[in-house]
Chains A and B, each alone.
Chain A
């Protein structure tokens, strides 16, 4: 891989590419897991003034380690202020104060609709997933949505088992009809590539491949016939500053939780 930054994993590339999308001016509603790592990495590198909000009510939180849950004490102790959960959803999210919602899910389709509820039939599920949490209203209440997910044919699917959270809708055109004014998903970062919705159809297409990734890998990992933009760039490889910050963050997190946890 890139000589200046040495070797790195596909997951590190994904987290770093996701972090780069956030700016110093953003107010970001952070989903737990992959989004949380990306959002805090952005705050610790190029976007020190990025305002991070978690659904536990912590506003402008600056955790030194990644929280295991959205309500870890670290989030409250390092927050500008902490509001109640009803206030969080009423004034801050529904009041449209938030520029970016950063989400993940168990399944995504080509229009950025998300499933985090069940695999299989709702009444007799093959797999019962945790459910919406904040996601259903985050998906429509934030000005725009960024998604970060590992690329796999079981997660990038032709048809969702259940549409927990609205992306651009089952045909890509439902937001306007439902009276939703916000932009919805405008970015999807995976461990293989970066995707954005094609303007005319709102179908996510590949706009950049991570270094060393081939089109064939992306095609094999996507459950629908994936499209590529007219011009496909190469994602800049992680810099040594980004990699070091991310690895330090994970090392501090593992030490704090007394166990190595997921992303």
Chain B
């Protein structure tokens, strides 16, 4: 059963140095507040897992939290590069970053395999791509029935997955709506799960559409963190701050500007977005 705790308690109890930590949310519902708390608690040596690292991993990598990154698309959507990620890969700043690089299809399949308790995912992928040459976790296997060559990748099994959702009820069940990404698979694939939410409600109503419900017994901790996905967005609550995504390009391009921004907006204990 999930427990209601503060963000600081959730992170200190369930996120430890050296862990494999997934923070999911496909453009939508990115758990920024939780990522910032990990930075503030200076938890290091993490293997960070996200299909799209986005600004939150740019910040965590720039802050030195990550030893390794598992990802499939590392850009600032519609804007350009993630400069802190590039600085780590190209110039090892602030520390060397090992990368394990996949395609979206592979990561989606690998989370689904983790949720299903399978050791690996099998799919029609990576044909004619150079990615298998640089990632030893991509292999090929013959289908035992047809002989077709299929790609195989290990299931993703994070030590802890952190996601953001719109609502939880008082029993700790959680409801997501809008673009639902890989949140359900990432939670079910993990040993522990933390969910930050916009609000607690008496009852998860059946209004709206396209909802995903996760029962309380699939989650360890629920944290009330209104605005916890900013500058990404929460369908039905607030919009994506596209202007901030554009502005981040200049902030992150330079190490000093980046550190000043982090001091002012993250280390000071602020909400984290501009």
Contact = CB atoms under 8 A, between A and B. Distances in A.
Given A94-B124, A132-B102, A163-B129, A261 B181 contact: no
A58 B210 CA distance: 11
Given A122-B134, A262-B78, A136 B105 contact: yes
A69 B103 contact: no
A32 B243 CA distance: 18
Interface residues of A, number: 62
A56 B182 CA distance: 10
Contact of A82 (B127, B131, B178, B239): B178
A134 B105 contact: yes
Interface in B95-118: 101-105, 108-109, 111-112
B242 A131 contact: no
A126 B26 CA distance: 28
A55 interface: yes
A54 B260 CA distance: 36
Contacts of A252: none
Nearest to B24: A85
Contact of A136 (B90, B126, B180): B126
Interface residues of B, number: 57
Interface in A38-86: 55-58, 67-73, 75-76, 81-82, 84-86
Contacts of B129: 132, 136, 163-166
B57 interface: no
Nearest to A177: B128
B108 to A, nearest CB: 4
A163 B103 contact: no
Contacts of A126: 90
B210 A32 contact: no
A169 interface: yes
* Dominant secondary structure of chain A at its interface with chain B: loop
Contact of B240 (A58, A69, A85, A90): A69
Interface string B57-79: 00000000000000111110111
A84 B181 contact: yes
B125 A137 contact: yes
A196 interface: no
A174 B27 contact: no
Interface string B184-212: 11000000000000000000000000101
Nearest to B83: A128
A135 to B, nearest CB: 7
Contact of A132 (B103, B124, B181): B103
Given A71-B77, A85-B51, A132-B73, 4 more contacts: A72-B27, A82-B210, A84-B180, A124-B90
28 contacts: A32-B77, A32-B78, A68-B79, A69-B77, A71-B26, A72-B240, A82-B210, A84-B181, A85-B26, A86-B185, A89-B109, A90-B112, A113-B128, A122-B130, A125-B90, A128-B89, A130-B73, A131-B73, A131-B74, A132-B73, A132-B129, A133-B104, A140-B124, A166-B127, A178-B127, A179-B127, A259-B243, A261-B78
Interface of B: 26-28, 51-52, 71-75, 77-79, 81-82, 85-86, 89-90, 101-105, 108-109, 111-112, 123-131, 134, 148-149, 178-182, 184-185, 210, 212, 233, 235, 239-240, 242-243, 245-246
